[in-house]
Amino acid sequence: LEHFTVEDQRRSLAEFLSILRPQGRVVIFTPYSHSLLYRLGKFVLEALGRWPFGLETPKRTLADCLPAHGRLQREYSMAFLPLLFDAHKFLPPLRAPSRWFWSQLVRRFGVSKIVAWDLTISRWLGGYLLVSVIEPVEACQ
């Protein structure tokens, strides 16, 4: 959705909501505009001419593009740590060190602990992704 105009975002969300099963929800992941790491990474990659995603406008909330028959059930940011470990996709020299570091973390602490850390860090610093859970207005009644 971050590549569309607000009106196109609204139309897309309306279409998603129209095909839901009863009590269904739409879950959308978009880059989070309050993520310091995301903004810094995007700035650096654009300056290096290595930003592969074209025009992208990160979101603080999807509230500004909800259709009339949808409402935000919940929004939060997450996935701070994977952004750090995916840096090698854009800066290849980081591939070996990031893989080694990730394997050491998983071996020592386990994935569950790392996910818990990720959510905590994301609350403090703003995670890379904004998670928006949207439901039809009828589900709210």
Query: Tell me: the pLDDT tens digits for 25-51?
Result: 999 999 888 888 788 888 988 999 988
Is the separation of the CB atoms in 41 and 12 below 8 Å? no
Query: Which of 9-18, 41-50, 118-127 has the highest mean predicted lDDT (pLDDT)?
Result: 9-18
Q: pLDDT confidence of 90, banded at 50, 70, 90? A: low
Q: How far apart are the first and last CA of the chain?
A: 27
Distance from C-alpha of 102 to C-alpha of 94, rounded to nearest angstrom: 12
- What pLDDT score was predicted for residue 87? 65
